[in-house]
C-alpha cells in the first residue's frame, strides 16, 4: 500500500468514529488489516467487535447495564487506538516524513532509560558541564518525540524530571515540546496527562508550554477527547488553580495575534521597506550631507527633518509598526526567516529551546567573563524576540568580521550593563512575565511550522483556526463573561468578524439584557452583509435602549439597504430629533423622500444642507436630480453646470444630458451623452445599460417615446464623426 492509500483508509475509519458509526469503523478496519496483512491486530479487532455486539444485544433485549456508558466510551477509545496503531505500523514501513525516518534510525541505536538520562543530567549540572547538559536535553527531546505508548515506569521517570528543581527548567520545556510534536503524529491519552502534570509546574516557562500543548492537542483531537474521562478530570483540576483562566485567556489571545504575522511580514516587505527606500533620497536632499563640514556639525537635529518623517506615509507605518510591537505582534518574523540555516538548527529540539546565555554553542568563540557575555545577558532579557530568533541573532553576530563585532561589543560597556541590570524588571515585568513567555513560545512554534526545512512533514498548526475557546472541553473552563468579552473584543479589533460574532452570540445567551452585545452582534452581521440579521440585532438593542443615536442610524441604514425607505425615514427622523444639526442625516432623510417620490420634501432637505454647508457641495447632485424629476429643468441645468466644473462622474454627464434634452437642447444633450460614452472608454453598450434604466424618467420629463431611438442614432452618428 502507498502512503496515500494508508492515510485515505485511516481517514475513513477516523471519520466513522467521529460520526460514532462504530460498525462502519470495524468494517473499514477489517479491510485495512486484510489488505496490509497485519494479522497480529485481528484478535484485538475481533474482541472489540464482539464486545460491541453483546452490548447492542443487551440493549435490544431491554436489559439496562449501568456500565453501558463506560463500556461504550472504552470501546470508542480502544477502536481509535487500534486504528492509530495500525496506521503507525504501516507508515513506519514506507513513509519518508521525518518522524518515521528518525524512528527507523532510532530502532538501531541503544536507548537509555529516562531514569538514566535524569541521573546523567543531574551529574552534568553539578559539575557545570554545559555541553553535556545540552546534549542530554536533546536526547530527551528526541526520545520523547519518537516514543510510542509509554510504560508506567517511563511515565513515572518523566514526572520525576518535571518535579526536579535541581536541573534546568529547559529540560522539562524540551519534554513538553517533544510531547506536543509526538501527539501531533499520534494521539496518546497518557501523554496528554503528562502535559497536565507539566501544567501544574511552578515554573512559568514549563507551565506556559504545557498549557499551549494541551490546547493544541484538544483542538486536534476534540472528537475523541470526550472518551477519556481522566483527561476531563485533570482539566477540571487544573482549572481550580488560581490564575488558570487568565493564563488560558492569554494563550488564546496570543494565537489570535499570530494570525497577523503573515500580514505584518507582507506589510514590512511591501510597504515599510519600500517607503524607507523612497525616504532615503528625500532625507539626503533635505540634509545635503555633502555640504557639511566638521565645524557645522552639532548635536541638535533640524526639527524639519523629524517633521518630514513623522508626517510622511513612512512615519505613519512606523508608528503602526511600533504599536504592533508593543502589543506583542510578531514583527520580527520577516527579519529572521533566512537566519535558520545555522548548524545549531539542524537539531530539531533547538527550535524549541528556551534561550540560555550559557548554552555550549556560545563557548567556542569567547571564554566566560568576556565582553560577549554582556550581549548574551541582554538578549536573554529581551521580551520582543522569541528564543529561536535570539539564537539566530547570536550566530549572525558571530559571522561578522572581528572588527565590526568588537565595535558592537563596545556598546555594551560596564555602565550600560549596570543600567540594564538595574532596570531588569522593565524588560520583562513580573506581572507580564507569563504573557511574554507565551508570546515567545507561540513565535517559536510559528517559525518551526513555517520555515523548518522539513516543515511540510508536519501539519501546519497556524493554518488552522485554533479557536480554542469553542472547544467543548474548554468552554466549561472559560465561561466567565470577562474572558469571553476580552476574546470577542480582540477578534473584533483585529477584523475577525466571524469569530467575534460566535463569541458575542454566546455572551448574549447569558446576558439577554445587554444592549451593547446586540449592537456588536448587529455590527458583525452587517460586516458579513447579513443586513436582515443586523437589523434584527439592532432592533433588539433599540428596545433595550432607545436613546442610542448610533443604533438608530444603523437601523435606518439597514431599512434603506432593504429597500424600505418609509421605515428608514422614521428612524432618520428620530435621529434628527436627537441631533438636529447633523447634515449627513438630513441628506439621508432627503434620499428617503426621494425614494418615496416625495420630491418637494426631498428638495427641502437638500437645500437645507446646501444653505448650512455651502462649501461641501454634498447637496448639488441630489438637488440637480430632484429638480429634474420635479420638472424644474432650469434649476437642474444650473446645478449640473456647477457639477461639470467639479470632477463630474459618468452619471453626472448622463443626467446633464437628460436635463438638456428636457429643455429641448438636443445638441447639448448629445454632447453630454458623448462625454459619458467616452468617459467609460467608449463602451456604448455600457452607456445603453444605464441610459435604458432612465427611460421612465425621460418619459415623465416630457420626452416623446418615439424620439428616443432617433436621438440615440444621432448619438451613434456623432460618435462616428459623420453627423
Q: What is the pLDDT of residues 328-383, one digit of tens each?
A: 677 777 778 888 989 999 999 999 999 998 899 887 554 445 556 666 677 677 77
Nearest to 227 by CA among 192, 180, 194: 192
Kindly state whether residue 369 falls inside one of the protein's structural domains. no
Measured CA to CA, the distance from residue 517 to residue 23 in angstroms comes to: 45
Residue 86: phi and psi, rounded to 5, are -65, -45
Q: Let me know whether 146 and 234 are in one domain.
A: yes
| pLDDT grade for 12, boundaries at 50, 70 and 90 | very high
User: Does residue 178 belong to any structural domain of this protein?
Assistant: yes
Are 40 and 128 members of one domain?
A: no
Q: Record the cell numbers describing residue 219, joined without a space.
A: 483542538
The DSSP call for residue 272 is: I
Three cell numbers, residue 355: 534561550
CA triple 380-384-386, angle to 5 deg: 65
Average pLDDT for residues 268-280, to the nearest whole number?
56
Contact, 66 vs 119, CB < 8 A?
no
First to last CA, the chain: 78
Q: What is the mean pLDDT of the chain?
A: 87
Residue 489 banded pLDDT, cuts 50, 70, 90: very high
Q: What pLDDT, in 10s, does the model give residues 420-430?
A: 555 555 556 77
Highest mean pLDDT among 47-51, 262-266, 328-332, 377-381: 47-51
Do 592 and 544 reside in the same domain of the chain? Answer: yes
Which helix (H) or strand (E) covers residue 124, if one does? helix 114-126
- Domains contained in the chain, number: 4
Q: How confident is the model at residue 111 (pLDDT cuts 50, 70, 90)?
A: confident
Residue 137 forms part of a structural domain? yes
Residues 331 and 268: beta-carbon distance below 8 Å? yes
Please report whether residue 371 resides in a domain: no
CA distances from 368 to 357, 358, 597 (A): 10, 9, 87
- pLDDT for 577-633, tens place per residue? 998 888 999 999 999 999 999 998 999 999 998 888 888 788 899 999 999 999 999
Based on the fold, state whether residues 590 and 614 are members of the same structural domain. yes
Per mean pLDDT, which range of 115-129, 246-260, 421-435 is the poorest? 421-435
- Which residue range(s) make up the domain with 457? 108-282+434-475
pLDDT of residue 53: 93
Q: Looking at the structure, do residues 160 and 257 belong to the same domain, yes or no?
A: yes
- pLDDT tops 90 at residue 307: no
Q: Mean of the pLDDT values across residues 673-683?
A: 90
Q: What is the DSSP letter of 2?
A: -
Residue 494, SS3 per DSSP: helix
In a domain, residue 385? The reply is no
Grid cell locating 409: 561589543
Residue 195 has pLDDT above 50, yes or no: yes
Here the cell at position 149 is 505508548
The answer on 247 and 138 residing in a single domain is yes
pLDDT value, residue 304: 45
Same domain (yes/no): 171, 211: yes
**Mean pLDDT, range 286-296, rounded to an integer:** 40
Closest CA to 340 of 205, 259, 455: 455
Containing 176, the helix (H) or strand (E) segment is: helix 169-185
Phi, psi at 167, each rounded to 5°: -105, 160
Residue 344 maps to a domain: no
Q: Residue 404: its pLDDT value, please?
A: 73
With cut-offs at 50, 70 and 90, classify the pLDDT of residue 541: very high
Among 200-214, 307-321, 596-610, the minimum mean pLDDT is found in 307-321
* Whether residue 263 sits in one domain with residue 170: yes
* Backbone torsion region of residue 519, taken as left when φ is above 0, otherwise alpha when ψ lies between -120 and 50, otherwise beta: alpha
Give the pLDDT band of residue 478 (cuts 50, 70, 90): confident
| Whole-number pLDDT of residue 382 | 73
CA 223 from chain centre, in angstroms, equals: 23
**CATH for 702:** 1.25.40.10
Is the pLDDT higher at 147 or at 293?
147
The answer to the question of residue 362 being in a domain is no
338 found inside a domain? no
Determine the 3-state secondary structure of 188 from DSSP: coil
68-95 tens-digit pLDDT: 889 999 999 999 999 999 999 999 999 9
> What gap in Å lies between CA 91 and CA 106, rounded to an integer?
15
Please, are residues 338 and 395 in contact by the beta-carbon 8 Å criterion?
no
Are 256 and 156 in a shared domain? yes
Question: How much of the chain exceeds pLDDT 70, in percent?
Answer: 86
CB 461 within 8 A of CB 232: no
> Which residues have a Cβ under 8 Å from the Cβ of 133 and sit 6 or more positions away?
121, 124, 125, 168, 360
Which of 95, 126, 148 is a domain's end point? 95
Residue where the block lists cell 516514543: 147
- d(CA 345, CA 340) in angstroms, rounded, equals 6
The domain boundary, picked from 618, 646, 671, lies at 618
Residue 401, phi-psi category: left (phi > 0), alpha (psi -120 to 50), beta (remainder): beta
Cell representation of residue 668: 447639448
Q: Do residues 689 and 562 share a domain?
A: no
* Phi/psi at 501 (5° precision): -60, -45
**613 and 634 co-located in one domain:** no
Distance CA 266, CA 271 (A): 8
Q: Are 676 and 654 contacting, i.e. CB atoms less than 8 angstroms apart?
A: yes
Residue 11 and residue 61 share a domain: yes
Please determine, for residue 518, whether its predicted confidence score (pLDDT) is greater than 90: yes
Amino acid at each position: 500500500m502507498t502512503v496515500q492509500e494508508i492515510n485515505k483508509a485511516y481517514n475513513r475509519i477516523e471519520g466513522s468514529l467521529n460520526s460514532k458509526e462504530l460498525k462502519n469503523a470495524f468494517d473499514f478496519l477489517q479491510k485495512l488489516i486484510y489488505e496490509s496483512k497485519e494479522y497480529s491486530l485481528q484478535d484485538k479487532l475481533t474482541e472489540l467487535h464482539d464486545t460491541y455486539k453483546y452490548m447492542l444485544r443487551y440493549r435490544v433485549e431491554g436489559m439496562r447495564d449501568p456500565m453501558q456508558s463506560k463500556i461504550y466510551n472504552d470501546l470508542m477509545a480502544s477502536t481509535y487506538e487500534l486504528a492509530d496503531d495500525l496506521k503507525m505500523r504501516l507508515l513506519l514501513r514506507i513513509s519518508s516524513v521525518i518522524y518515521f525516518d528518525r524512528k527507523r534510525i532510532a530502532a538501531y541505536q541503544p536507548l537509555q532509560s529516562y531514569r538514566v538520562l535524569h541521573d546523567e543530567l543531574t551529574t552534568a549540572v553539578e559539575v557545570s558541564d554545559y555541553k553535556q547538559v545540552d546534549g542530554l536535553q536533546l536526547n530527551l527531546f528526541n526520545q520523547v518525540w519518537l516514543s510510542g505508548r509509554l510504560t508506567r515506569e517511563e511515565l513515572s521517570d518523566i514526572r520525576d524530571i518535571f518535579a526536579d528543581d535541581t536541573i534546568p527548567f529547559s529540560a522539562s520545556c524540551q519534554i513538553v515540546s517533544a510531547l506536543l510534536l509526538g501527539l501531533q503524529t499520534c494521539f496518546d491519552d497518557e501523554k496528554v496527562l503528562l502535559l497536565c502534570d507539566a501544567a501544574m509546574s511552578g515554573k512559568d516557562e514549563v507551565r506556559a508550554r504545557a498549557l499551549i500543548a494541551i490546547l493544541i492537542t484538544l483542538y486536534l483531537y476534540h472528537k475523541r477527547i470526550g472518551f477519556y474521562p481522566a483527561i476531563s478530570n485533570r482539566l477540571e483540576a487544573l482549572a481550580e488553580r488560581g490564575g488558570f483562566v487568565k493564563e488560558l485567556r492569554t494563550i488564546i489571545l496570543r494565537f489570535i495575534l499570530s494570525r497577523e504575522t503573515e500580514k505584518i511580514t507582507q506589510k514590512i516587505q511591501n510597504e515599510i521597506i519600500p517607503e524607507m527606500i523612497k525616504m532615503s533620497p528625500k532625507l539626503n536632499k533635505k540634509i545635503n550631507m555633502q555640504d557639511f563640514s566638521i565645524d557645522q556639525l552639532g548635536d541638535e537635529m533640524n526639527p524639519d527633518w523629524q517633521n518630514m518623517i513623522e508626517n510622511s506615509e513612512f512615519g505613519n507605518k512606523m508608528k503602526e509598526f511600533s504599536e504592533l510591537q508593543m502589543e506583542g505582534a510578531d514583527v520580527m518574523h520577516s527579519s529572521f526567516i533566512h537566519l535558520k540555516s545555522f548548524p545549531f538548527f539542524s537539531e530539531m529540539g533547538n527550535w524549541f529551546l528556551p534561550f540560555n546565555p550559557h548554552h555550549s554553542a556560545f563557548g567556542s568563540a569567547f571564554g566566560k567573563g568576556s565582553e560577549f557575555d554582556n550581549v548574551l545577558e541582554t538578549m536573554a532579557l529581551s521580551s520582543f524576540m522569541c528564543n529561536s530568533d535570539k539564537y539566530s541573532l547570536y550566530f549572525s553576530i558571530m559571522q561578522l568580521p572581528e572588527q565590526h563585532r568588537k565595535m558592537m561589543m563596545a556598546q555594551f560597556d560596564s555602565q550600560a550593563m549596570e543600567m540594564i541590570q538595574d532596570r531588569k524588571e522593565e524588560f520583562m515585568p513580573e506581572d507580564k512575565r507569563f504573557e511574554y513567555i507565551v508570546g515567545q513560545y507561540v513565535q517559536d512554534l510559528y517559525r518551526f511550522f513555517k520555515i523548518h526545512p522539513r516543515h511540510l512533514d508536519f501539519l501546519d498548526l497556524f493554518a488552522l483556526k485554533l479557536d480554542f475557546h469553542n472547544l467543548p472541553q474548554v468552554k466549561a473552563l472559560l465561561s466567565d463573561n470577562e474572558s469571553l468579552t476580552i476574546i470577542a473584543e480582540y477578534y473584533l479589533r483585529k477584523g475577525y468578524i466571524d469569530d467575534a460574532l460566535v463569541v458575542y452570540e454566546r455572551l448574549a445567551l447569558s446576558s439577554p439584557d445587554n444592549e451593547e452585545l446586540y449592537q456588536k452582534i448587529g455590527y458583525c452581521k452587517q460586516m458579513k452583509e447579513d443586513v436582515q440579521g443586523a437589523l434584527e440585532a439592532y432592533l433588539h438593542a433599540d428596545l433595550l435602549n432607545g436613546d442610542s443615536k448610533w443604533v438608530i442610524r444603523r437601523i435606518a441604514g439597514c431599512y434603506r439597504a432593504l429597500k424600505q425607505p418609509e421605515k428608514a425615514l422614521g428612524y432618520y427622523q428620530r435621529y434628527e430629533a436627537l441631533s438636529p444639526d447633523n447634515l449627513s442625516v438630513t441628506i439621508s432623510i432627503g434620499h428617503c423622500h426621494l425614494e418615496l417620490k416625495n420630491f418637494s420634501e426631498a428638495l427641502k432637505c437638500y437645500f437645507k444642507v446646501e444653505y448650512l454647508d455651502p462649501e461641501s457641495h454634498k447637496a448639488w447632485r441630489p438637488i440637480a436630480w430632484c429638480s429634474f424629476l420635479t420638472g424644474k429643468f432650469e434649476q437642474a441645468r444650473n446645478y449640473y453646470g456647477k457639477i461639470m466644473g467639479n470632477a463630474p462622474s459618468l452619471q453626472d454627464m448622463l443626467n446633464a444630458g437628460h436635463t438638456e434634452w428636457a429643455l429641448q437642447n438636443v445638441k447639448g444633450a448629445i454632447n453630454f451623452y458623448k462625454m459619458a460614452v467616452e468617459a467609460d472608454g467608449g463602451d456604448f453598450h455600457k452607456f445603453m445599460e444605464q441610459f435604458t434604466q432612465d427611460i421612465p424618467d425621460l418619459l415623465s420629463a416630457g420626452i416623446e417615446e418615439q424620439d428616443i431611438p432617433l436621438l440615440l442614432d444621432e448619438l451613434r452618428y456623432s460618435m462616428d464623426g459623420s453627423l
